[in-house]
C-alpha cells in the first residue's frame, strides 16, 4: 500500500510521534514500519549510546558514580530510572549528557534517508524541545485510565509508580493541543492499523505537494 514516490527528496518530511506512557507509541511505530516507512526511535538510539565502551556511559559513570553500573559494566537502568523519576535535578543532569548526542544521531540518520517521509518516535517530544526537529506532531492518545491500566499490567507497576511517571510528562490536554494529527488507540490492533494506513496515505499526499519545504 502507498509506495513512496520514486524521486527522493532532499529532506524527508519528519513526523514526530509522541504520546503519554502506555498510549501505544511502539505499536503505532510498528504499523508505520510494516508499511515501509523509515522509523527512527530516540529511545533505541539512547540505548545504543549507553552501551559499554560508549562515551555517554563513561560520562554517566563519572557524573552519577560507579553505582549506576552493574557488575558487568552495563548501565543499571532500574536504578537510573528510579533516580531520575524521583529527583528532577538528576534528570536534568542525565539529559545534559544524552540529549546532544541523541540529537546529533537523529540528524545523521534523517540525512541518510531516501524516503519522502519518516517517523521520529520521541516519547517526551514536547517536554524536551525536540519539536524543532519535526514538521508535524502525531499524538497517540488514550484515556488516562487506559494508560494507567496498561502500564500496571505491562510493567507490574503500582498505581503510585505509574502516577509518578505520568506527573513528569506534559498533560494530556497540552499534548493534544500541540498535535497536528491525533491517533486514538483505545481499540484493537486491526483498528489501529487501519487508522495508520489512513495517516500514511495523508502523509504521502503531503509529499506530493509542489514547492514544499521540509525544514522545520
pLDDT in tens, the chain (216 residues): 444 444 444 689 999 999 998 999 999 999 999 999 999 999 999 999 999 999 999 999 999 999 999 988 999 988 998 898 888 899 899 999 999 999 999 999 999 999 999 999 998 899 888 899 999 999 999 998 888 888 888 887 888 888 888 887 899 999 999 999 999 999 999 999 999 999 999 999 998 876 555 666
Angle, helices 88-111 vs 55-64, to 10°: value is: 170
Task: Return the DSSP state at 68.
Answer: G
Domains of the chain, residue spans: 1-38+116-208, 43-112
**Class of 1-38+116-208 in CATH:** alpha beta
Q: What are 82's three cell numbers?
A: 528510579
Q: What are 61's three cell numbers?
A: 559513570
Q: What are 190's three cell numbers?
A: 486491526
pTM to 2 decimal places: 0.85
Amino acid at each position: 500500500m502507498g509506495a513512496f514516490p520514486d524521486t527522493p527528496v532532499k529532506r524527508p518530511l519528519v513526523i514526530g510521534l509522541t504520546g503519554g506512557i502506555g498510549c501505544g507509541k511502539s505499536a503505532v511505530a510498528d504499523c508505520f514500519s510494516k508499511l515501509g516507512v523509515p522509523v527512527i526511535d530516540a529511545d533505541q538510539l539512547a540505548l545504543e549510546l549507553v552501551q559499554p565502551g560508549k562515551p555517554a556511559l563513561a560520562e554517566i559513570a563519572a557524573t552519577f558514580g560507579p553505582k549506576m553500573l552493574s557488575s558487568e559494566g552495563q548501565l543499571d537502568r532500574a536504578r537510573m530510572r528510579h533516580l531520575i523519576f524521583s529527583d528532577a535535578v538528576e534528570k536534568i543532569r542525565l539529559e545534559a549528557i544524552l540529549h546532544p548526542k541523541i540529537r546529533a544521531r537523529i540528524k545523521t540518520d534523517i540525512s541518510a534517508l531516501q524516503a519522502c517521509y519518516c517517523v521520529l518516535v520521541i516519547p517526551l517530544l514536547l517536554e524536551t524541545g525536540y519539536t524543532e526537529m519535526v514538521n508535524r506532531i502525531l499524538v497517540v492518545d488514550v484515556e488516562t485510565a487506559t494508560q494507567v491500566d496498561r502500564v500496571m499490567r505491562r510493567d507490574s507497576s503500582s498505581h503510585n509508580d505509574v502516577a509518578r511517571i505520568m506527573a513528569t510528562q506534559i498533560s494530556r490536554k497540552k499534548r493534544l493541543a500541540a498535535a497536528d494529527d491525533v491517533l486514538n488507540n483505545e481499540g484493537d490492533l486491526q483498528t489501529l492499523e487501519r487508522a495508520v494506513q489512513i495517516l500514511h496515505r495523508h502523509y504521502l499526499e503531503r509529499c506530493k505537494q509542489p514547492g514544499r519545504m521540509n525544514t522545520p
